[in-house]
């Protein structure tokens, strides 16, 4: 088992990538702090892990609020004893153009998608440093942060920020033996903020199919395990080759 006796916190763990990460990590021996604002959704993930013989607990938390994050990390340590891995997965999208998006839309997307990663990383890193045992942080970005889009203005800006946030805190936390990396997915599973996968959603990649949440989960497992012991500060594209293609059609 690649994560035996380790404790992982996964945000947005009630569906899609977060759910699959939680279940895969548990299968690899980790104990999982399932973090989601939606209690029934989060409990569904916890129940699935326990049914498979794993250990998990639900922590209903608004990860956009510092006090709530601090309390949650303390509760996780109280329940499991320590924290070894953080997966910053939670995000929402505006799906609006510059001329459509409101200030309230912008603030909400930035707060949930970007600020949550700052708050979670800060409080979990403080705990990891106090433990003195190092750790791993994996952020979930998006190809939306690497190219222009006709919509999703705030979401694209937030995901672009995550790319360099990942590099920056990788530099800052490396002296404490905390490795920070990110994955950069494209159209994996259900759209951001939705429960159901839409098979009609257009996909442009080399594999000519949508990605599966478990494929993103396996990439995150790689970055959270010792398989990637010499990988740090990287944005790993898990996009079916989308960003390697000529998007202009020429």
3 state SS for the chain: CCCCCCEEEEECCCCHHHHHHHHHHHHCCCEEEEECCCHHHHHHHHHHHHHCCCEEEEECCCCCCHHHHHHHHHHHHHHHCCCCEEEECCCCCCCCCCCCCCHHHHHHHHHHHHHHHHHHHHHHHHHHHHHCCCEEEEEECCHHHCCCCCCCHHHHHHHHHHHHHHHHHHHHHHHHCEEEEEEEECCECCCCCCCCCCCCCCCCCCCCCCECHHHHHHHHHHHHCHHHCCCCCCEEEECCCHHHCCCCCC
Residue in the block written with tokens 């960003």: 243
Instruction: Give catalytic status of residue 155 as yes or no.
Output: yes
For 19, 90, 91, 187, the CA distances from 141, given in Å and listed in that order, are 16, 10, 9, 12
Identified catalytic residue from 155, 165, 222, 237: 155
Helix axis angle for 39-51 and 16-27, nearest 10°, is: 30
Q: What amino acid positions are annotated as catalytic residues?
A: 155
């Amino acid at each position: 088992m690649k994560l035996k006796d380790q404790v992982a916190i996964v945000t947005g763990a009630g569906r899609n990538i977060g759910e699959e990460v939680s279940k895969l990590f548990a299968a690899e021996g980790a104990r999982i702090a399932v973090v989601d604002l939606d209690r029934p959704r989060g409990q569904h993930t916890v129940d699935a892990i326990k049914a498979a013989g794993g250990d998990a607990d639900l922590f209903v938390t608004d990860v956009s609020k510092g006090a709530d994050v601090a309390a949650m990390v303390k509760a996780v340590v109280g329940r499991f004893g320590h924290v070894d891995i953080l997966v910053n997965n939670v995000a929402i999208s505006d799906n609006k153009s510059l001329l459509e998006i409101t200030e309230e839309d912008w603030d909400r997307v930035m707060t949930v998608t970007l600020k949550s990663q700052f708050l979670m990383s800060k409080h979990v890193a403080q705990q990891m440093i106090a433990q003195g045992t190092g750790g791993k942080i994996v952020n979930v970005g998006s190809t939306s942060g690497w190219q222009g889009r006709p919509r999703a203005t705030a979401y694209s800006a937030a995901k672009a920020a995550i790319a360099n946030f990942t590099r920056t805190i990788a530099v800052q936390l490396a002296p404490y033996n905390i490795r920070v990396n990110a994955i950069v997915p494209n159209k994996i599973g259900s759209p951001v903020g939705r429960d159901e996968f839409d098979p009609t959603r257009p996909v442009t990649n080399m594999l000519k199919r949508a990605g599966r949440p478990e494929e993103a989960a396996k990439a995150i497992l790689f970055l959270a395990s010792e398989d990637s012991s010499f990988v740090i500060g990287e944005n790993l594209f898990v996009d079916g080759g989308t960003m390697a293609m000529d998007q202009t059609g020429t």
